[in-house]
Amino acid sequence: MAAAGGNRWLLTALWMLLMVSALGVVHTTQQSRALTAKLEQAQRHRDELRYEQERLLLERGAWSAYSRIEQVAREELNMRAPTPAERVLVTPDKR
């Protein structure tokens, strides 16, 4: 009879360990799914930032193009290229 009680206790302990293990698997699976979703969201955000960076680099290139600078100088600053009569040649001072 004592052996039957010991077997019953062992069976109960094994059943409890099995349940704890099953709950651990469920928890780990849920956590894995949540982290995978976060990873995908972070990757989408990274892709959006890369797209925006490329767009901004193109825009910076367009704004710094010589034709754009010349247009702003003429239209907004009323600048123009000097005529040959207005040009002054500066020579180095020879001492």
The candidate with the shortest Cα–Cα distance to 80, out of 72, 88, 68, is: 72
DSSP string, 32-71: HHHHHHHHHHHHHHHHHHHHHHHHHHHHHHHHTSHHHHHH
Over the stretch 70-95, which tens digit does the pLDDT of each residue have? 888 899 999 988 899 989 888 888 76
Give me the pLDDT at residue 2, please.
Answer: 52
Whether 80 and 74 have beta carbons less than 8 Å apart is answered as yes
Query: Rounded to whole angstroms, how far apart are CA atoms 72 and 80?
Result: 11
pLDDT digits 0-9 by tens, 36-70: 999 999 999 999 999 999 999 998 888 778 888 88
Q: What is the pTM of this model?
A: 0.53
Which single residue is written with the structure tokens 């651990």?
A: 24
Q: Where are the domains of the chain?
A: 10-79
Q: SS3 for 15?
A: helix
